[in-house]
Amino acid sequence: MVAELTGATRSAGPRRSLTRRRSATVPGRIGWIVAQAIAMLFVVTTLVFFATQAMPGDVAKVMLGMSATPERVEALRHQLGLDRSLLSQYWHWLSGVLSGDLGTSLASGRPVSQLLGERLVNSATLSLFAVVLILPLSLLIGILAAQFKDSLFDRTFLWSSMVANALADFVVGTLLVALFGTTVFHWFPPVSLIPAEHMPWWHPQALVLPVATLVIGGVMYLSRLIRVSFIDVLNSEYVEMARLKGLGSARILLTHALPNALAPAVPAASLVAAFTVGGVVVVEYLFGYPGIGGLLIDSISNRDLPVIQAVVLVIAAVYYFFNLLADLLHTGKSGERR
């Protein structure tokens, strides 16, 4: 008896130590991911700055016009600090970014943070509405397609999702404008013009087509993943055992299938949010929506470098944040399974 207890203790010891090692590796992987994120954001800031500096043309000449004298151009370059070395300009810009100072717009003379803040509210509203609609719609469509696998609904969904994922947001938005904003059904405005002093949700009709453009691509991508995940779970042994015990379909779906099927879909939802943020620029340009996308296009036309750098940096940071969130969620789920 003593020998059995000793053997059991010895066998339990390695299992406990192995569990501790596995649980300890999860914070380590999370810390490594966060460190990579910080390093990547530094690389992004460097690339953003030097890529915008490499744009053709002279900012001073663009601001003063082609008829400006060389003396005036040189004086403006000195005033803007453009005659300093690139490394000096980069350090000045990076120091300002780290301290929350994004500089001053060369075109309007207003603080970049003020210009960006006005447009960020509009873009955040558009992205938030899209994500809030994408998640429940993807869950509903994915569950129905998995529950009625190989049915007419499932085949129609697979075909339409394949077509939608093959089309760019610009094409989807153009089709929606042609169908619902111009010739066929003139239900919604084809251009989403919102006054600067108004909140976007005060004009719900102007949001319908831009939000629908973002939602279609996100739903078709995420619902396919949820469908595959649910099919795997519904064919698993513990679901079969629940059916043999006589449990109802609704109880099996909500209690056994749903929690396990959503585990791999949660990181994918973060990626969909990242894709949504990235697609905002194209959608805003297409519909004339007054967000950061329109601000970026106007700044490129005026070669307003501080605004271009700030907008690209914000988009890249938000996009990378959602990718980082997806990695963290995937790491957490992997640690739980182990």
Residue 154 has pLDDT above 60, yes or no: yes
Over pLDDT 70: what percentage of the chain? 72
Tally of CB atoms within 10 A around 173: 25
Task: State the pLDDT confidence band at 19, using cuts at 50, 70 and 90.
Answer: very low
Counting other chains too, the contacts that 94-97 makes at CB distance below 8 Å and 24 or more residues apart are 94/45, 94/49, 97/45, 97/313
Say if residues 312 and 296 touch (Cβ distance below 8 Å): yes
Q: Which structure tokens are listed for 283?
A: 């959608």
Say if residues 116 and 102 touch (Cβ distance below 8 Å): yes
Task: State the pLDDT confidence band at 3, using cuts at 50, 70 and 90.
Answer: very low
Please tell me which residue, 338 or 98, carries the higher pLDDT value: 98
pTM value surpassing 0.85: no
What's the pLDDT tens digit per position in 300-335?
877 788 888 888 888 878 877 777 777 666 665 554
Task: State the pLDDT confidence band at 8, using cuts at 50, 70 and 90.
Answer: very low
State mean pLDDT over 90-106.
79
What's the pLDDT tens digit per position in 107-141?
777 888 888 887 888 888 888 888 889 888 888 88
State mean pLDDT over 67-91.
73
Asked: is 113-337 a CATH 1.10.3720.10 domain? The reply is: yes
Q: Is 157 exposed, middle or buried (0-12, 13-18, 19+ CB in 10 A)?
A: buried
| DSSP helix/strand/coil, 140 | helix
Q: Chain-wide mean pLDDT for the chain?
A: 75
pLDDT score, position 332:
55
Q: Which structure tokens are listed for 302?
A: 């005026």
Say if residues 296 and 308 touch (Cβ distance below 8 Å): yes
Measured in degrees and rounded to the nearest 5, phi and psi for residue 183 equal: -80, -45
Task: State the pLDDT confidence band at 24, using cuts at 50, 70 and 90.
Answer: very low
State mean pLDDT over 79-91.
75
Mind giving me the DSSP string for 298-317?
HHHHHT-HHHHHHHHHHHHH
State mean pLDDT over 4-14.
44
Closest CA to 279 of 204, 203, 216, 325: 216
